Amino acid sequence: MIRRRGTRVAMIGAAIAFAFGLVILWFVIKMAHGRAEYADVTHAPEYVGIVGKEYAFAIPMPACGITMDRDYKPPADEVVVMAPPGFSGPEVLWCDDLPEGTAFRVVGVRRCSNCLDSREDEVMVDILPGRGYRGLPVELYSDDVVSKDESGRPRLNFQYYAPR
């Protein structure tokens, strides 16, 4: 009788572990096949020093049109500006070189709310004098963007961007 009770407890524990595993698997599949979702963190205190400010590229920077279509079909959904040499892949539809001195204004910051990796927040800009670039929203690639000032607050990395 004691043996049966132990077996029953083990079976219940195994069933709970199996159910928990299915929930984890569902979550991972959902994250891998879903679109990234973003929360606007433009007004977070740490970004007060960069939002609304104008900068210029300190070096020529590639601006690449990216599609979010699962089959990588046009049109582009956004533009990613990244330090040279830029990047490639099936999602990249085109790339333009923005010359050194091209002006831009930081218009917002967004944070991925459903990403599994630990991405940095994404800085959104307008290439001046217009809005966006080619009518699309523009993101500065996060690995190139932010460094910390002496007080530990985020600032744009002066290796790539110069204040105007």
The pTM (predicted TM-score) of the whole model is: 0.74
Of the candidates 77, 82, 44, the residue with the CA atom closest to the CA atom of residue 62 = 82
pLDDT in tens, 32-73: 556 778 899 999 998 888 999 999 999 999 999 999 888 999
Q: Whole-angstrom Cα distance, residue 150 to residue 59? A: 24
pLDDT for res 80: 93
- CA 80 → CA 15, 135, 139, distances in Å? 46, 13, 5
pLDDT in tens, 71-107: 999 999 999 998 888 888 999 999 999 999 999 999 9
Q: What angle do CA 106, 45, 58 make, to 5 degrees?
A: 30
Of the candidates 64, 78, 53, the residue with the CA atom closest to the CA atom of residue 135 = 78
- Mean pLDDT of the residues in the chain: 84
